[in-house]
Chains A and B, each alone.
Chain A
Amino acid sequence: MRSLFLIILFFNIIIAQSPKKSADSPCDDPLIRLAELEGIKAVPLKDLIRLKKLMKACERAGGKDQISKLYENDWNRDYKKARRMASWTSTHAMCVFVSFGYYFVGKVLATNPDSD
């Protein structure tokens, strides 16, 4: 069992290694590939400035469409995930809406006992 665990751990580490290849074109950089595959939010904060530079370089190298596609896919990815409420979230939203409406309708319609 222990050796099985060690083998799994070993392969996980080996597979997890992504050697930094020096890409010929900035558009083929692993960072841009990561942003394309998993979204800009998947890029670590420390690499953000580098990503911005790579995007500009890619646009200059003729990859304008690729970069605009990257942004578009990012939008669509988030949009598809969150365009409809799922599970309990609609109930929560309804509770908020009802309490909000009750408060503001009360503000408008409620009479002050002192004013009588």
Chain B
Amino acid sequence: MKSQIYVFIISLLPFCNNIVQGQPKLSIDLGVGFYEPTLTGFDQNETVQFPPKSILNKNLMLNWGIYYEFFNNARIGYNSFTSYAIGKSITLINSEAVFRRSLSYRIFPIETFFRWKPNVELNFTLAPIWGRGRIELDTTPGDKTDDWNYFINSFGGSPDPVSDMGATDVMITDWFGYSSMLGFRYYINSRIGVDVKGGFMNNSYKEENWRIQRQKVTGPKMKVDDLPIFSLKIIYGIR
């Protein structure tokens, strides 16, 4: 009897495509976000000269996302806001380092919406955030070159062939937060739309929670909680 039930369920599967066919749509989006964090640890650092702050490396974030419409008026998805800063020739004790910083706000939104007019949509987003800060430095440690030369010399050939080597290390931190946004979307056609959102986000960032090669370290002071955020993006409906 039990096996007959299984066979019955399996035999119904071929008909399920009719239900699946009318099901929700998938869309991707690409755009930019704006916010204004206070990056005290970088902007007011008297020991290391970080690249000067500008709209590009402080206020602007690249934004991409993917959404799945699981209900007539609701979609879930993944959205990522990332701000980048790059600096060359950061003077340290032994080297002129290349510095790269990224602050990513990875958002997992639940978005509900309604169509005010046929091509105008109002949407409401509530989302948990998994944030990640990442600082990467390309340094040139001298003892690394010595060790590699010693190792390569053991194979023969010309002695001490390596004169300069770089090493890249990363320090990382994670935090959690939440965000709430109201949005306005204008559909240019049935697949493409322009979406403008405004809202706020709260992040529980703590500078003591950075880690580098499994060692806990203190990172830069930053105020990324209680922040207004705005985004502008282009939506493309895949299906």
Contacts and interface: CB of A to CB of B under 8 A. Distances in A.
Interface of A: 1-2, 4-5, 8-9, 12-13, 16, 38-42, 44-45, 71, 74-76, 78-79, 81-87, 89-90, 92-93, 95-97, 99-100, 103-104, 107
B29 to A, nearest CB: 15
B184 interface: no
Contact of A96 (B7, B114, B182): B182
B214 interface: no
Contact of B118 (A79, A96, A103): A79
Interface of B: 4, 7-8, 10-11, 14-15, 17, 21-22, 25, 71-74, 110, 112-119, 121, 124-126, 180-182, 187, 189-191, 199-200, 228, 237-239
A89 B110 CA distance: 10
A79 B7 contact: no
A11 B144 CA distance: 69
Contacts of B126: 92, 95-96, 99
B190 A89 contact: no
Contact of A103 (B17, B25, B180): B180
A41 B24 CA distance: 10
A75 B190 contact: yes
A39 to B, nearest CB: 7
Given A99-B126, A100-B181, A41 B72 contact: no
B238 A1 contact: no
A93 B200 contact: no
B133 to A, nearest CB: 23
A85 B73 contact: yes
B3 to A, nearest CB: 9
A44 B119 CA distance: 22
A81 B72 contact: yes
Q: What 3 pairs across the A-B complex have the smallest Cβ distances?
A: A12-B14, A96-B124, A89-B112
Given A12-B15, A100-B182, A103-B200, A41 B113 contact: no
Given A5-B7, A89-B71, A96-B181, A71 B124 contact: no
